Amino acid sequence: MPLPALPPLHLVRALHAVGHTGSIRKGAAELGVSHTVVSRHLRALEAWAGAKLLERGPRGARLTTEGQAVFSASETAFAALAGAFETVAPRGAPTSLRVWAMPGLAGRWLGPRLAEIERLLPGLDVSIRATETPPDFAAHEADLFIGYGHDDELPAGAEHLVTPRMFPVASPLWLARNGRPASLGALARQSLIHERDHGQWRRWLKAAGVDPAAPFSGPKLWTASLGLDAAAAHQGIALATQLSVAREIREGQLVELFDTDISTGSYYLLAAPERKNKSPVLAFRAWLAEELKCDAAGETAGDAV
């Protein structure tokens, strides 16, 4: 069969990089070339295709419908090529896996599973860093980042993992000392444990149908993990998910308050472009997605009070 008529591969790589990163400048950084070179490649690809693939404007560039079709096809094609070359050239196989993750998930969910991860990836040096800041993939800081955000604000290229239910928790001793809030409205007037600001509690209460008029009280502890530690130490009421407090609830250190079904965001996964199709990353991604979904679905309504 005759070979299909295809444009030069470097032109397609330019479009793929722009589609993956969401901008010409970031795409150029990913490829290690200048912004001007990528722009020239994109114009050459549009000329070859005879179609407009990118809409350029004062706020940046975005793929057209035709450009998105080419980008989607290139994602599949480049993944297949990467898998094929990894099979025939195992000398390039990774020796480590560096995962950056939200502090609560890193310490409370990933940490206790290190032995399981090492069995999944034998012979690899696995490292986990707790941070809310995404790594600079262009500077090779990490291979994967597990973040958390609102579903309509996830970064370009992010893979949705799970949307966990969020609920208030407190220690039995705190409840014995202060009493259980009689209603969600009363809950809003309690000593609530916040992260860096009042935003998460405000969003949660609004989703629960409560619009607190009075100012919030309670400490700000910057991360969810610190807030849950404080709640377990009888300091107030914190927001949690099943992923972050399953052990504490099971052992009776924390108690879920009320019977609610509210989510405020999702965990997502970002991968370094040059590593995302390597077999250790693919294996970890598949394991992570399955385990998170199973654990998030493992809630029991009888725990709420």
Does residue 216 share a domain with residue 74? no
| Range with lowest mean pLDDT among 76-80, 109-113, 190-194 | 76-80
pLDDT for res 46: 94
Mean pLDDT confidence for 281-292: 92
Domain boundary among the residues 69, 90, 111 is at 90
The answer, yes or no, to whether residue 298 has pLDDT greater than 80, is no
% of the chain at pLDDT higher than 70: 91
pLDDT for res 183: 92
Q: How confident is the model at residue 89 (pLDDT cuts 50, 70, 90)?
A: low
Task: Cite the DSSP H helix spans in the chain.
Answer: 9-21, 24-31, 35-49, 65-88, 103-105, 114-120, 172-178, 184-187, 199-207, 224-232, 242-250, 279-296
Pairing state between β 144-149 and 96-101: parallel
26 closest CA partner among 114, 137, 134: 137
Q: How confident is the model at residue 86 (pLDDT cuts 50, 70, 90)?
A: low
Does residue 106 share a domain with residue 82? no
pLDDT for res 255: 95
Q: Which residue has the higher pLDDT, 208 or 140?
A: 208
The answer, yes or no, to whether residue 295 has pLDDT greater than 90, is no
CATH at residue 27? 1.10.10.10
Does residue 28 share a domain with residue 142? no
Domain boundary among the residues 56, 90, 124 is at 90
DSSP class of 217: B
Do the domain assignments include residue 302?
no
Do the domain assignments include residue 304?
no
Does residue 75 share a domain with residue 137? no
Do the domain assignments include residue 206?
yes
Do the domain assignments include residue 181?
yes
| Range with lowest mean pLDDT among 118-132, 202-216, 243-257 | 202-216
Query: Which 3-state string (H, E, C) describes 170-184?
Result: ECHHHHHHHCCCCCH
Q: How confident is the model at residue 109 (pLDDT cuts 50, 70, 90)?
A: very high
pLDDT for res 146: 96
Do the domain assignments include residue 305?
no
Do the domain assignments include residue 245?
yes
Does residue 35 share a domain with residue 84? yes
- The strand order across the sheet containing 238-241 reads 238-241, 166-170, 255-256
% of the chain at pLDDT higher than 90: 44
For the whole model, what pTM was predicted? 0.65
Mean pLDDT confidence for 155-168: 91
Do the domain assignments include residue 289?
yes
194 CB-near residues (< 8 Å, 6+ apart) = 200, 201, 216, 218, 219, 220, 221, 227
Q: What are phi and psi of 154, to 5 degrees?
A: -70, 145
DSSP class of 104: H
Does residue 280 share a domain with residue 150? yes
The answer, yes or no, to whether residue 303 has pLDDT greater than 50, is no
The answer, yes or no, to whether residue 305 has pLDDT greater than 50, is no
The answer, yes or no, to whether residue 1 has pLDDT greater than 60, is no
Does residue 206 share a domain with residue 79? no
Range of the domain at 221: 166-256
| Range with lowest mean pLDDT among 44-48, 92-96, 165-169, 197-201 | 92-96
Do the domain assignments include residue 1?
no
Mean pLDDT confidence for 286-290: 93
Per the prediction, the chain carries an average pLDDT of: 86
The answer, yes or no, to whether residue 201 has pLDDT greater than 60, is yes
Q: Which residue has the higher pLDDT, 139 or 197?
A: 197
The answer, yes or no, to whether residue 83 has pLDDT greater than 70, is no
Mean pLDDT confidence for 264-276: 89
CATH at residue 130? 3.40.190.10
Mean pLDDT confidence for 167-187: 94
Does residue 62 share a domain with residue 35? yes
Mean pLDDT confidence for 188-203: 87
Does residue 77 share a domain with residue 30? yes
Does residue 246 share a domain with residue 177? yes
Q: How many domains does the chain have?
A: 3
Domain boundary among the residues 90, 119, 139 is at 90
Does residue 276 share a domain with residue 136? yes
pLDDT tens digits, 40-54: 999 999 999 999 999
Does residue 183 share a domain with residue 134? no
Q: How confident is the model at residue 213 (pLDDT cuts 50, 70, 90)?
A: low
